[in-house]
A = this chain, B = another copy of it.
Amino acid sequence: MEKGEDEATIGVKEIARRANVSIATVDRVIHNRTGVAENTRKKIQQIIKDIDYQPNLLASRLASKKVYSLAVLIPEVSNETDYWEAPLNGIQRAESEIGKYGIKTKIYLFDLNSRASFIQQTERVMADKVDGVLLAPSFIEESTYFTYRCKERKIPYVFINSDIPNQDSLCYIGPDLMKSGYLAGHLMSYGIGEQGKVLVVNISKEMDNHHHLLRKEEGFRKYFEDHQRANEIVKVDVRQTEYTALEETLAEVFSIHPDIKAIFTTNSRISSVARFVEKSAKEKLLLIGYDFLKENIEYLKKETIDFLICQKPEEQAYRGMMTLYQHLMLASEVEKVHYMPIDIITKENYTFYSN
């Protein structure tokens, strides 16, 4: 209730009047610009404090010629996966909505298979002096270092696709990786008995001990533990990501474990696994993987792939951009973590899916 103070919204003009200066001087103080006598500054600061002045951000944005530039640091669409096309679309959608309010976007693409390219792009971002960053922190250490430098410069950054917790990001928008893997485990449990072995496949040239794919694996395993399933879980990290190398690796795994009944592939490369399965498997295997990509859908249609898990990649990026915008422009509060829904795509429902 309590409202009181309805004194006709106090603004720079009123502050100027009270301080006996011009609004230009008030503006200088508000923005901590130089060229104001210490006394004047103090007096104005006191008034600002007294009346608890809150600038009108709409007016501020409208009058300002300042353009905020946002850097987007995500993987490029590769011939291995065009997953990253969707986030790119989301970014463009955001751009077209907020472009006219003084937000410019600059996109920095790196090669998911090359740590070096990531580092290189972070250097470009730093050099370009941007006002906010949207990034997929695919390489944990490098991202940590990069965001550390952003923090120093007070540049806000938003993580999408995978999170690095406690990194002081403005927020994270993307899947709950653990839950997502857990769900995969759950789905898999329906299709296999207590006996069959299951295979977990992580495909990435840059696999390491804290890769985000491992969080999905962890969730997946947790399901089996929580439900005391007896199934043996075989796992393989594939670092040679070309199809022929992958085929060779999988063939070897299957020669050792011919009784594998189901495969969980922790990213969008499930189509390559499906290709192998079609070619080599004697019996129907249960396949679960990620992402609404054309080639994945093809295998889904043919029932080689049973389930695809998808987490609105376009929306992640769109939301990320809008969050940065609102933070910069409206100084509005931001929720630290925004988990995307975990969508399950099957042969029956894929036509209705929207990213």
Contact = CB atoms under 8 A, between A and B. Distances in A.
Nearest to A1: B92
Nearest to A56: B100
Interface stretch (A58-66, A205-213, A272-280): A58-66
Interface string A311-355: 000000000001000100000110000000000000000000000
Interface string A187-212: 00000000000000000000000000
A101 B332 contact: no
A333 B322 CA distance: 10
Given A9-B100, A332-B322, A59 B56 contact: no
Interface string A89-100: 000100001001
Interface string A23-65: 0000000000000000000000000000000101011011000
A62 B92 CA distance: 27
Nearest to A6: B99
A86 to B, nearest CB: 15
A1 B106 CA distance: 10
Contacts of A9: 100
Contact of A62 (B56, B100, B332, B333): B56
Contacts of A58: 58, 61-62, 101
Contact of A100 (B54, B97, B101): B54
A166 to B, nearest CB: 16
A296 to B, nearest CB: 25
7 contacts: A1-B92, A54-B100, A56-B101, A58-B58, A62-B62, A97-B332, A322-B333
